[in-house]
Amino acid sequence: MLGLRRAVAALRPAVASAAAMSTLLVSQPRYAWLRELGLQEENSGVYNGLWGGGGQVVTTYCPATNEPIASVRQASLEDYEETVKKAKEAWKVWADIPAPKRGEIVRQIGDALRQKIKVLGSLVSLEMGKIFVEGVGEVQEYVDVCDYAVGLSRMIGGPILPSERPGHALIEQWNPVGLVGIITAFNFPVAVYGWNSAIAMICGNACLWKGAPTTSLTSVAVTKIIAKVLEDNKVPGAICSLVCGGADIGCIPVLGSYTNQIVLFDYYNMEIPSRNVYSDVSLEHFKRRQNRWTAMARDERMDLLSFTGSTKVGKQVALMVQERFGRSLLELGGNNAIIVFEDADLNLVIPSALFAAVGTAGQRCTTARRLFLHESIHDEVVAKLAQAYAQVRIGDPWDPDTLYGPLHTKEAVKMFLDAVEQAKQQGGSVVYGGKVINRPGNYVEPTIVTGLPHNAPIVHTETFAPILYVLKFKEEEEVFAWNNEVNQGLSSSIFTKDLGRIFRWLGPKGSDCGIVNVNIPTSGAEIGGAFGGEKHTGGGRESGSDSWKLYMRRSTCTINYSKDLPLAQGIKFQ
């Protein structure tokens, strides 16, 4: 009998493990398509030519139901060290390949993504929570950037400049920086990596990616697609390395309090108590580990660190990188405004404001959070906008008919409720929404708040949720100033037919943002332009235009092909 009891006791952990695995969505027939992306119950979160991972196992959840999808074994600091070394070695091979041939490999990555675009878009929808068409659209952005990068691979270069000295040539030479670290946020778990990696690769750089822990499955799935292309071309897989991990791998955390715990919290990058393996650590343990929570930001082998996340953490990243005289590319917060003048075409205004404020459930860095309406049209626009909000189809994000899905986490729901309450306390009136939706998952009502002054504290706070503050104005000069008075400077838009006003808006006394639009929403940027913002948004630029220059270093080269040695500025030194 004793032997039987021991045998049963020994079986319990295995039975419990099997039961836990069976609750994962990846184990259920409905989600068998996840296997097409190479995902399983537990997935390796490190790739450097080989898959591995010796760190904590973290489970990601579906925001629409809060059910567990699958787990990822994250990188340990030892894994990180090994991966950086392999990536630096891989760069030596990659940098020697001609740029057009690098572009051909990037083209193949784009084609491989095209073949998986719907299934990968479904994963983005399942794990991040954005609606299916946005998930597919995000993968399409990566594909488009790959196409763009292919052409760029035959065009990048510096000018030949006139030399003041006879028999001399003056040229600019551009070379890759080396290893580009890419830390991305949960809200665009595919596209932002694509903007960075496709351009960085054709410039001759190797990449090391750390995505948000709550979208680790997407990071793994994308890397599997890329790794296959690299392996097929017989180039080192470590050219596009992956280290899934928390703040210990990426950057320093922010101390905050949540249910009397010490927590790591950065909303964009989702270092959160319910999902973070470090959520229960004591303050003493936090202090002991703090020096290990800065690997990529402090690592001098990281020749450029691209960070997408909150302004608060981005500031710390910038300071750490600057302390070692490194390079950083920052894409941080946005408190974006739409300004509607009395001559605006309301047939453009209503759908634009709706998409900008409600799209991705208010979780885009370019989401419209402030809507300035001329006092003569304020009431009319608010009424029409409320009617439009009432027609938004809320549901499962992977349902093709759904226009509005859940917030990413339960913590985001709490932030939403806190912001609505603060808006009320500061004098605002909720004219639509403001509540949690009674259904499984992290659903809240898209919300319109009126009656607040332009400088109310909550209006100047970027809440990553679908809350739109509608504000009255009288004059052009004052509303342009109000647009610019917030700390962030990402995206902005006006609606008007006045040509003079349009050019004043685009000019030196107009919007101070990196994205300045006319008669279109604040969100939905094209890949051909440089994406980024000013002030507390970080000043970085990604994707199109001349953003490629951030991934390269410039040398000014003077070549003397004569037999004389004339000096510049006519100096005689004899």
User: For 279, how many CA atoms within 13 A lie in the half-sphere containing its CB?
Assistant: 15
Distance (Å, whole) CA 336 – CA 488: 8
**Residue of 331, 445, 462, 542 with catalytic role:** 331
Biggest distance spanned by C-alpha atoms of the chain: 104
- Compute the radius of gyration of the chain from its Cα atoms: 25
Active site residue 331: yes
**C-alpha 103 chain-centroid distance:** 23
Angle subtended at Cα 330 by Cα 328 and Cα 331, rounded to the nearest 5 degrees: 160
The answer to whether 544 touches 534, Cβ cutoff 8 Å, is no
The answer to whether 117 touches 143, Cβ cutoff 8 Å, is yes
Q: Give 418-421's long-range contacts (Cβ < 8 A, gap of 24+).
A: 419/458, 419/461, 419/463, 419/465, 419/467, 420/447, 420/449, 420/467
DSSP per-residue string spanning 183-212: E--SSSTTHHHHHHHHHHHHTT-EEEEE--
Distance (Å, whole) CA 427 – CA 475: 23
Question: Parallel, antiparallel, or unpaired: how do β-strands 368-374 and 467-473 relate?
Answer: parallel
Active-site annotation, residues? 331
